[in-house]
Chains A and B, each alone.
Chain A
Amino acid sequence: MSVTALKEPPKEARRSGSAAVVRLAAPTTPARPSRWPGYAKSVAVSVLPPLVMVLLLGLLWELLCSGPGATLPPPSRIWADSKDLILDPFFVAGPQDIGLGWRVLVSLQRVAVGFGLAAVVGILVGAVIGQSVWAMRGLDPIFQVLRTVPPLAWLPIALAAFRDSNPSAIFVIFITAIWPVIINTAVGIRNIPQDYRNVALVLRLNPIEFFWKIMLPSAAPYIFTGLRIGIGLSWLAIVAAEMLTGGVGIGFFIWDAWNSSRLPDIIVALVYIGVVGFVLDRLVAGVGSFVTRGTQAS
């Protein structure tokens, strides 16, 4: 134990012998700015810097790729060659000649099915595993290994099993996205405080009620972490899988464009993929923070 030496009494206390009324400074009313400029400012602060950066990088790119020996097209050529792709995402000019918006939607549809399955199965399996110490001990190392298998490595197996490209692509998404969902759900279930379990025991909640009323809400922050990782991996996997399985998805578009040497098209498609991936991530994160709002124990 340490003894803190008593310091000199603070000035105010020492002077208190001579009692003088200290008048509080009159509160200065700050000029209250109206709400609207504040809002505009926050938008500007978050939108302007990336915008400036994009312009600068575009400029740099233009400079680097304008030379005679450049192997990649500069932005100006992309604009000239692929204007229709950029300006109209939803044109239909033939069965194989459709806007990138349509292609993205086709890919998203596959992701929706594959990721949706992965989410449901992953949460259920994770819940079962999280409930049992032995299942956790036995299965966790296996999952940690399977988790690291690259999405495309599953494709041959999927093609062999399903003998069709569409279910194979969906399977690849499923198998890629499911591991983080399982692992995070299981961890979330293991971390349910004993207090909540005791409440469930006293109330005699049955397993189904326990799942809905205690498990899901309590583990929701963990589950959404898993889902967020999962949706990111799904989007990575779909592009790769579609390059190999064909069809009209955005992944196959890139492959097709490469085979017919349409580099500018590929770059436009990359931007689409990046933006959609970003939106998906934000979507899951947003849903997550909405669902788990205010649920943190205090």
Chain B
Amino acid sequence: MPAYLELSQIGKSFSRGAATTEVLRDVSLDIAKGEYISIIGHSGCGKSTLLNIVAGLTPVTTGGVILDGKEVNAPGPDRAVVFQNHSLLPWLTVYDNVRLAVDKVFSGTRSRAERHDWTIHNLDLVQMGHARDKRPSEVSGGMKQRVGIARALAMEPKVLLLDEPFGALDALTRAHLQDSVMQIHASLGNTILMITHDVDEAVLLSDRIVMMTNGPSARIGEVLEVNLPRPRKRLELVTNATYLKAREAVLKFLHERHRYVEAA
């Protein structure tokens, strides 16, 4: 099966003046359509950089990204991003934040009424229909993050890019949103690339977990397949042998072989 999203030998260096730091080296990954991939690694290893490269927000130094047979090197709505800090526009209501994306992507193809319905539909998908006239400052952190997800979903992207989407949330809200994302993934079959710090989250949600080595010059250290049937239920998994094994493998990778070393 040909890869739907292909990261091909991606390298990235940042240079300021004469000093150059290599953040990523030779990162290659083939992702199939509908796959859920998590990227896990220690802070500062270059996960966000990699995601921004796929999004087209950061140019590569070497290599490239191929989506659905075409090279991509500029941002676009086919790769919707849920940012680490939600990035809603504070002067727009929840509805208008999503509507802006819907209007931009579907202005030529759908009528005004259809776009309205589609906006509402996506807000309902993340259970935010009730707060659609509120401004971002008036809703909680978890709700903001859900609106960010709704905005991304509403673009009907080929790939959904999530940068620690639940990072800033408490455990309960996080679990709730993870379930929502699993449901959405099950019903829509999106291709998802998600960054996370959380081992349980990675194992619960992903088909494959990409573990990155520490920077500088981070590479893909290991890729772990999570062969758990879907739909997955978090409570049942607690004692599942496959789950525990996968969890252990990731923890071992992070804490034994690639322990976090404070940059000297």
Binary interface profile of B, 99-111, with partner A (CB < 8 Å = 1, else 0)? 0110011000000
**B95: A residues at CB distance < 8 A:** none
**B100: A residues at CB distance < 8 A:** 203, 213
Q: Are B87 and A296 within 8 A (Cβ)?
A: no
**B87: A residues at CB distance < 8 A:** 195-196, 198-199
Q: Are A297 and B90 within 8 A (Cβ)?
A: yes
CA distance A199 to B75 in the complex (A): 10
A sample of 13 cross-chain residue pairs with beta-carbon separation below 8 angstroms, ordered by A number, consists of A195-B85, A196-B87, A199-B87, A201-B75, A202-B77, A202-B80, A203-B104, A203-B155, A204-B77, A217-B91, A220-B91, A294-B91, A297-B90
CA distance A204 to B104 in the complex (A): 8
CA distance A266 to B133 in the complex (A): 53
Residues of A within 8 A of B (CB): 195-196, 198-199, 201-205, 209, 213-214, 217-218, 220, 292, 294-298
CA distance A298 to B138 in the complex (A): 9
Q: Are A202 and B76 within 8 A (Cβ)?
A: yes
Judge if B168 is at the interface, Cβ distance under 8 Å. Answer: no
Q: Are A298 and B101 within 8 A (Cβ)?
A: no
**B83: A residues at CB distance < 8 A:** 195, 198-199
Knowing that A196-B87, A198-B57 are A-B contacts, what are 9 other residue pairs whose CB atoms are under 8 Å apart, sorted by A's residue number? A202-B55, A202-B79, A203-B77, A203-B101, A209-B104, A217-B89, A295-B91, A298-B90, A298-B136
Q: Which 7 A-B pairs have the closest CB atoms?
A: A295-B91, A298-B137, A195-B87, A217-B91, A201-B75, A203-B104, A297-B90
CA distance A195 to B87 in the complex (A): 6
CA distance A261 to B80 in the complex (A): 73
Q: Are B104 and A205 within 8 A (Cβ)?
A: yes
Judge if B81 is at the interface, Cβ distance under 8 Å. Answer: yes
Q: Known: A196-B89, A295-B91, A296-B90. Is A201-B104 also a contact (CB below 8 A)? A: no
CA distance A213 to B91 in the complex (A): 9
CA distance A198 to B85 in the complex (A): 12
- Which DSSP category, helix, strand, loop or mixed, fits chain B's interface? loop
Judge if B174 is at the interface, Cβ distance under 8 Å. Answer: no
CA distance A203 to B87 in the complex (A): 13
Binary interface profile of B, 60-77, with partner A (CB < 8 Å = 1, else 0)? 000000000000000111
Chain A, Cβ-Cβ closest to B104: A203
**B135: A residues at CB distance < 8 A:** 294-295
**A204: B residues at CB distance < 8 A:** 75-77, 104
**A292: B residues at CB distance < 8 A:** 91
Q: Are B75 and A202 within 8 A (Cβ)?
A: yes
Q: Are B90 and A294 within 8 A (Cβ)?
A: yes
**A209: B residues at CB distance < 8 A:** 104
CB distance from B199 to the nearest CB of A (A): 27
CB distance from A76 to the nearest CB of B (A): 54
CB distance from A214 to the nearest CB of B (A): 7
CB distance from B148 to the nearest CB of A (A): 10
Chain B, Cβ-Cβ closest to A201: B75
**A220: B residues at CB distance < 8 A:** 91
CB distance from A56 to the nearest CB of B (A): 44
CB distance from A36 to the nearest CB of B (A): 30
Partner of B137 from A196, A217, A294 at Cβ < 8 Å: A294
CA distance A213 to B56 in the complex (A): 21
CA distance A295 to B135 in the complex (A): 8
**B101: A residues at CB distance < 8 A:** 203
CB distance from A193 to the nearest CB of B (A): 8
Chain B, Cβ-Cβ closest to A196: B89
CA distance A209 to B107 in the complex (A): 13
Q: Are A199 and B89 within 8 A (Cβ)?
A: yes
Partner of A296 from B75, B77, B81, B137 at Cβ < 8 Å: B137
CB distance from A292 to the nearest CB of B (A): 8
**B79: A residues at CB distance < 8 A:** 202
CA distance A197 to B208 in the complex (A): 31
**A195: B residues at CB distance < 8 A:** 83, 85, 87
Chain A, Cβ-Cβ closest to B97: A199
Chain A, Cβ-Cβ closest to B55: A202
Q: Are A202 and B81 within 8 A (Cβ)?
A: yes
CA distance A196 to B104 in the complex (A): 15
CB distance from A147 to the nearest CB of B (A): 29
**A203: B residues at CB distance < 8 A:** 77, 100-101, 104-105, 155
